[in-house]
Copies of this chain bind each other. A is one copy, B any other.
Amino acid sequence: MNGEQTRSATDDPAFAEGPWTVFSATRRASEVIAAPLSAEDAGAQSMPDASPVKWHLAHTSWFFEVFVLTPACPGYRVFDERFSQLFNSYYQTLGVPFERHARGLLTRPSLDQVLAYRRHVNEALEDALQNDRLSAALEKIVELGVHHEQQHQELMLTDIKHLFFQNPLKPAYRETDLCEITPQSTYWRDFAGGIHGMGHAHPGFCFDNETPAHSVLLRDFSLASRPVSNHEYRQFVDDGGYRDARLWLADGWSCIRQRGWDRPLYWSEDLATEFTLHGQQAIDPNRPVVHLSFFEADAYARWAGARLPTEFEWERAAQLSRDGAPQLAFSSRTELHPADLRPETFSAYDEVWTWTASPYLAYPGFAASADAVGEYNGKFMCNQWVLRGGSLATPAGHLRPSYRNFFPADARWQFSGLRLARS
């Protein structure tokens, strides 16, 4: 998703408990994620697609400063004029952003200064929100900023994991061992086709790419009751899955050959351990396989005689999942590694994102708004694929059946896995 989706659409009941409450809890959550990191950890950037944690902390503040405080709060003093370039992500109407791939070279401002920037922004927002100084429209922008920051929280975790993986010391973000998971059975759940409503149609917040709500014609389909496990994926590897061109999309085959991929991103060469936010750990056969590219998920599904679900099949299954989206209380978790949720009743939600067979496209009638916040709503709708369902690292309350995440087919540093479908 590039951490960059924008634009809210409708009323969010969660925000009803008071925008300041929600805002300040979200802001605090970001800092909790950053807390175990040194200034050095927070400043490094492992690849152009990832950002330093410090940058995430600053950029999410920049959002509120640029879209709320500067335009709407007359007395607001900009923290540092120069930050508008440094922490702009891609809004070309706001000037030329600092080059994405060089974010790790911004040793100044320091982490301390960025944390001061956050406090400065928080205080101004507290004043504005507690004293009702914002119009309804601006409160919408604040709500959007909160969801925007939640997206960056997940990216902070996947980016830091990727950074630590580069280090031969293989440091742990959190120093606890993972518990062992019990094997569990699987079954196919059948769904009836027909014309079904998709997209966001309820009150409450959503991103603009979930709209407009519209009807989709589905065929009958079945969805597996749980995500593909490490054990199952290992069988694919052992069966020569990475060496059989017939299983792969042409682009996927050339991708795995050029980069020498023969296993999931964080698996060790001997297929015995994997790198996690808890450091190097034994691969638990019963946990979901994670950190796959779309290409690998697609090849696995073909090998297994099944296919990936479309995003609408998944959405339909989520609509019918009795318990709704799990309220993953990330901050209260001990383990930061995907387990298998094992609900008593069928659920479409896993602790890994599910790659779908759907390219990321605009819904019929989609129109980006004209202002800067919505500058580029649709601009990523090319050569990316939709992921659905959320992961263990997705903030509580951030998920819903219509939520659409998206990444290019070769991305695998997110908590991405798969669930099988068939017709």
Contacts and interface: CB of A to CB of B under 8 A. Distances in A.
A89 to B, nearest CB: 11
**Most chain B C-beta atoms within 10 Å of own C-beta, residue among A40, A106, A110:** A40
A217 B193 CA distance: 13
A43 B40 contact: yes
B166 A102 contact: yes
Given A245-B92, A246-B376, A44 B105 contact: yes
Interface residues of A, number: 60
Interface in A163-201: 163-164, 166-169, 171, 195
Each complex incorporates copies of this chain amounting to: 4
Contacts of A107: 38, 40-41, 43-44, 163, 167
Interface in A218-237: 219
B217 A40 contact: no
A40 B364 CA distance: 47
A166 B102 CA distance: 8
26 contacts: A38-B110, A39-B39, A40-B40, A40-B111, A41-B107, A44-B44, A44-B104, A44-B107, A82-B168, A86-B169, A92-B245, A105-B163, A106-B169, A108-B164, A108-B167, A108-B169, A248-B379, A249-B381, A251-B383, A253-B379, A295-B382, A357-B361, A359-B359, A364-B423, A365-B423, A383-B409
Interface of A: 38-41, 43-44, 46, 82, 85-86, 90, 92-93, 98, 102, 104-111, 163-164, 166-169, 171, 195, 214-217, 219, 245-246, 248-253, 295, 357, 359, 361, 364-365, 375-376, 378-383, 409, 423
